[in-house]
Amino acid sequence: MTTNVNNYLNSIIDLQSGIQRSVNSINEGGGWLFKQVMTYTAASPLELVEDTPTTVPIPLADVGYAENHLLNLLYDYENNKFTPSTVGDLFLVSFRGKAVADNNFAYLNLEVNSPNSDFNPVDAATTAFAKNSGVVEFISQKFLIFTSQILVNNGVNVTATAQGANIDLYDYSFTIVRLFSNKGINTDAFS
């Protein structure tokens, strides 16, 4: 058996499992990004019509605040979807924002979906509005997303559906943390 020494110079191998990771893949295994969307404000909110699923976009021209470390925003602005690139990655996504309902007893459903997939929602959460109509509610939901081949092929979007009332959504942001990356892993380092 001939082994190329260069394959091992910049990598770490778990001798028990035989899994090899490049140093670069370890560096890229984490990372985070934050995007505050400023297109939708209290004066000009994203209007959610009762019982109508609406994609929650990041507009291309949005000049909101953004920050990242070892993770770039992979986003298709034309189709309003995130575009993960590696099968086997695991992300924690935090969505937060403000909302106002025009009626009491409103609910806001947030869904993470993969367009053209039979496995939707990928994750979902419901927020019940505890305050009276016209009063600002603070929304904060977390989603755990594993990137399967379906998500890599189709992308991922976030949809919001107002129930029991029309809802104005604004001042929202996404924080995305990559908990694990499958990038650069060789599961049989001794072959």
11 pLDDT higher than 70: no
How many Å is the Cα radius of gyration of the chain? 20
Residues 164-174, mean pLDDT to the nearest whole number: 97
Please give the domain boundaries of the chain with CATH numbers for all domains.
Answer: 31-182 (2.60.120.1120)
Which pLDDT belongs to residue 129?
93
Stretch 31-51: mean pLDDT: 96
How large a percentage of the chain has pLDDT more than 70?
Answer: 81
* 101 vs 25, residue with greater confidence: 101
Could you tell me the pLDDT band of residue 13, with boundaries at 50, 70 and 90?
Answer: low
Q: How far apart are CA 144 and CA 56, in angstroms?
A: 18
DSSP string, 20-54: EEEHHHHHTT--EEEEE--SS-SSSPEEE-BT--E
- Rounded-to-integer distance, Cα 130 and Cα 176, Å: 27
